[in-house]
Structure 1
Amino acid sequence: MIILVQPFKDLNPESVKFVTNEIKKIYPKIKVLEPLDLPKNAYYNDRRRYKADSIIKFLSEKTKEGFVTIGLTSKDISTTKGKVSDFGIMGLGYRPGKACVASNFRLNKEKNDEQLFKIAIHEIGHTQGLKHCPEKKCFMRSAEGKNPTDEEIDFCPKCKTFLKNKNWKFNLI
């Protein structure tokens, strides 16, 4: 599998570079694509944000077998959660799936790039089949409507074993 990083034009190129370099430390088979405009059909005018599931559908249609695409944006994104049709989120990925999306819109401005990496690797984990993890320091923990990324330090041993069984090498530098 190769991870494709699809930056959208709104995101700072330095953020894309940071996130990509951090992902490479865990999974080195990665390619950065040219920035694109966010899909117009994903825009939800009433709340001035983008529907994450529409972004994922757009990315999935462009993603070939053997690849997973992570879309990166600075725009506000949302999804339907329970009875809430427009719940603001930091990222979304389907389990399993071939595309996911992460946004830095709701993240701490001082730690923006670091937190965006953690959201991105979490969503990529979902595409590989990982569920939310009860371990509070694991990248796969549920955000539960908050931003717990400062507490996350790595995949826990159970999640790491799951990913190693999917040929992740964890080439930490």
Structure 2
Amino acid sequence: MRRFLFLVFIILFSCNSKSEKNDYFKDISENDIKLFPPKPGDWLYSYREKGQTFEQFINSKHLVPTKENNIIYLQPIGKFNSLQVKQIELTREYLEIFFQLKTETLKDVSNDIIPKHARRIGPDQNEQFLAGFILDSVLKKEKPQKGIGLMALTEVDLYPKPEWSFVFGLASYRDRIAVSSIYRLHDERLQNKDFNLCLERLLKICSHEIGHMFGLHHCIDANCAMNGTNSLSETDEHTLRLCSNCQRKLNSGLKYDNVKRLKELEKYFKDNKLTSGFELMEKDLKNIQ
């Protein structure tokens, strides 16, 4: 009899937990903002993507943390000024909250690691590194302890192949590695006046690329951190927030406490004076209370 009652309790608890989670995603879905029809130059105007339903995500092969692999790593490459160093640390803090996984920054690597054949002077007369070289010849060799994802950050501009003028970043989701550049995220030299704009762009790019590592496709349903982007202006139009469907996907794999994550994001945005992010989290919190 006791065993029967115990099993009934487990079943009821499990059902209640699932119901609470579903209620959470339903409640915050009221704050999802539908995308405007794409205009020339936008990502969805150039690439007619089909999107990814929750069921498609569940039935796909996607990365799930284990006891052996559960840490996200950042690898700075280059000589960063004090403001850039601060941004990298704030990005680490953000990713740790965003994915609810421990996130660590590895020791800086010198630009000398990039050989001459993987460098060029680009169309804008600035030095650029070949993004694919960083993935294949730098990051693939690194095996950080308990690493589940590895993202390099450079202060030098990147290009993916000779015919392209530049790229914000590049990733190999199969290998769980990515590289992004801070170079184009601010005007000429990073200053205090554009610190928050640059930071917000960096947070969007890093969370987006690592989101892909965890199996999230581009979002085509709502304004979302997983929207594809063709330009910096389009990146600025997109939100820091994951839509309710993308949050549901991420949570199904990472198994974190939704409310804890939401409160921590709200505090992060408030502490760092990122007004738009703070207001979005505040709206979600109101909807679940």
Tell me how far apart the structure 2 counterparts of residues 91 and 85 of structure 1 sit (CA, whole Å): 16
User: Which one of 118, 135, 145 corresponds to residue 43 of structure 1?
Assistant: 118
1:53 offset after TM fit, Å? 1.6
State the superposition RMSD in angstroms. 2.3
What secondary structure does 2:150 align onto?
strand
The amino acid that maps onto 1:164 is: N
Asked if the contact 2:73/2:106 (under 8 Å) is kept, the reply is: yes
1:97 offset after TM fit, Å? 3.1
Asked if the contact 1:7/1:36 (under 8 Å) is kept, the reply is: yes
Asked if the contact 2:222/2:243 (under 8 Å) is kept, the reply is: no
Segment of structure 1 superposing worse, 142-151 or 2-11: 142-151
- Count how many residue pairs are aligned between Structure 1 and Structure 2: 170
TM-score if structure 2 supplies the norm length?
Answer: 0.53
Q: Equivalent residue for 2:42?
A: none
Tell me how far apart the structure 2 counterparts of residues 54 and 168 of structure 1 sit (CA, whole Å): 34
Q: Unpaired runs of 5+ in structure 2?
A: 1-69, 188-193, 265-289
1:68 offset after TM fit, Å? 0.8
| Identity, % of aligned positions | 24
Larger radius of gyration between Structure 1 and Structure 2: 2
Q: Equivalent residue for 2:98?
A: 26
Give 1:71-150 correspondences, 5 Å limit. 71-80=152-161, 85-109=163-187, 110=194, 111-135=197-221, 137-150=223-236
Tell me how far apart the structure 2 counterparts of residues 93 and 52 of structure 1 sit (CA, whole Å): 9
More relative contact order in 1 or in 2 (CA 8 Å, sep 6+)? 2
Q: Structure 1 136/44 Cα, relative in aligned 2: closer, same or farther at 3 Å?
A: farther
Q: Structure 1 37/136 Cα, relative in aligned 2: closer, same or farther at 3 Å?
A: farther
